[in-house]
Structure 1
Amino acid sequence: MKNSRRDFLKKTALASTAATIPSYSFTIINKPTLSNEIIGHGNFKYRVHKQWGNLNPNTTPIKNCHEMVLDSKGRLIMITDETKNNIIIYDKSGKLITTWGHTYNAGHGLTLFKEGEEDVLFITDPSAGKVVKTTVNGKIIMELPNPKNIGVYSNNMQYKPTETAIAPNGDIYVSDGYGSDWILQFNKDGEFIRKFGGRGYEDEKLNNAHGVAIDDRDPNNITLLCTSRTHNAFKRYTLEGKYLSTIFLPGAYVCRPVIDAENIYAGVCWSRMKYLERVPNSGFVTILDKNNKVVSNPGGTKPKYKNGELQLMLQNTALFNHCHDVCIDEDKNLYICQWNAKKSYPIKLERV
Structure 2
Amino acid sequence: MKYLLTLGLLAASFTGLSHEGHSHKINPEALQKAPFVDADYLTGQGKFTYKVDLNWGETIKGKPTLGSTHGGVAIDKEGNVYVSTNGADGIIKFCGDGHAHKAFGKETAGSHNLALKVEDGKEFIYAAFPGGKGKVCKIDLDGNIIWTIHGHPDHAAYKKEKPRYKPTAIDIAPDGRIYVADGYSTSLIHLYSADRKYIKSFGGGGNGNGKFRTSHGLTIDTRGEKPLIIVVDRENRKLQRMTLEGEYVDTPTTDLRRPCAISIMGDYIAVAELSGRCVILDKDFKVISILGDNPDKKQHHNYGVKTKDWKPSVFTAPHGCALDKDLNLYVQDWNSTGRLRKFIIQK
Same fold per superposition (TM over 0.5): yes
State the AA in 1 paired with 2:332. C
Matched, 1:343 2:337: yes
Q: Superposition pairs for residues 231-270 of structure 1, below 5 Å?
A: 231-270=236-275
What SS does the corresponding residue of 2:215 show, helix, strand or coil?
coil
Superposition CA RMSD, Å: 2.4
Shift of 1:144: 1.7
Partner residue, 1:273: none
Q: Deviations over 1:131-185 (max 9, x none)?
A: 0112112222211242355777324442100111111111111111111100111
Deviation at 1:240, TM superposition (A): 0.4
8 Å contact 1:35–1:50 — kept in the other structure?
no
Correspondence 1:265-276 to 2 at 5 A: 265-270=270-275
**Does residue 109 in structure 1 map to residue 120 in structure 2?**
no
Alpha-carbon distance between aligned partners in 1 of 2:231 and 2:76, rounded to the nearest angstrom = 23
Which whole-Å CA distance do the structure 2 matches of 1:53 and 1:345 have between them? 10
Out of 203-212 and 155-164, give the one that drifted further: 155-164
1:230 is aligned with what amino acid? E
In structure 1, distance between residues paired with 2:338 and 2:85: 11
What residue is the counterpart of 1:329 in the other structure? 324
Matched to 1:82, the amino acid is G
The normalised TM-score by structure 2 is 0.79
Aligned to 1:139: 144
2:47 corresponds to: 43
Out of 226-235 and 94-103, give the one that drifted further.
94-103
What residue identity is the alignment partner of 2:166?
K
CA contact (8 A) 2:71 2:319 kept: yes
| Residue 162 (structure 1) aligned to one of 156, 161, 168 | 168
TM-score, normalisation: structure 1: 0.78
Structure having the higher helix fraction is: 2
Tell me: CA distance 1:299–1:284, structure 2 relative to 1, closer, same or farther (3 Å). same
* Equivalent residue, structure 1, for 2:92: 88
State the shift of 1:344 in Å. Answer: 3.4
CA positional deviation for 1:57: 7.5
Larger radius of gyration: 2
Could you tell me how far apart the structure 1 residues matched to 2:105 and 2:191 are? 26
Matches within 5 A, 1:1-352: 33=36, 37-55=41-59, 58-59=62-63, 61-64=66-69, 66-83=71-88, 85-128=89-132, 129-148=134-153, 153-155=158-160, 156-218=162-224, 220-270=225-275, 283-300=276-293, 319-340=314-335, 342-352=336-346
| TM-aligned CA distance change 1:142 to 1:51, over 3 Å | same
User: Aligned equivalents of 2:138 and 2:37: distance in 1?
Assistant: 38
Change (3 A) 1:148 1:222: closer
Deviating above 6 A after TM superposition, structure 1's stretches of 4 or more consecutive aligned residues are 314-318
Number of aligned residue pairs: give it. Answer: 295
| Distance in 1 between residues matched to 2:61 and 2:99, nearest whole Å | 14
Contact 1:65/1:78 (8 A) holds in 2: no
Amino acid at match of 2:73: M
SS at match of 1:94: coil
Cα distance, 1:35 vs. partner? 6.1
How far, CA to CA, are the matches of 2:58 and 2:98 in structure 1? Answer: 8
- The residue aligned with 1:304 is none
Aligned match of 2:5: none
Q: Percent identity between the aligned chains?
A: 29
Q: For structure 1, which segment, 46-55 or 31-40, has the greater mean C-alpha deviation from structure 2 after superposition?
A: 31-40
User: Could you say if the C-alpha distance between residues 144 and 350 of structure 1 is closer, same or farther in structure 2, counting changes exceeding 3 Å?
Assistant: same
The DSSP-based 3-state class of the residue aligned with 2:124 is strand
| Runs of 5+ consecutive residues of structure 2 not aligned to the other structure | 1-33, 295-299, 302-310
The alignment partner of 1:111 has SS state of: strand
Secondary structure at 1:331 match in 2: coil
- Inter-partner Cα distance in structure 2 for 1:162 and 1:35: 37
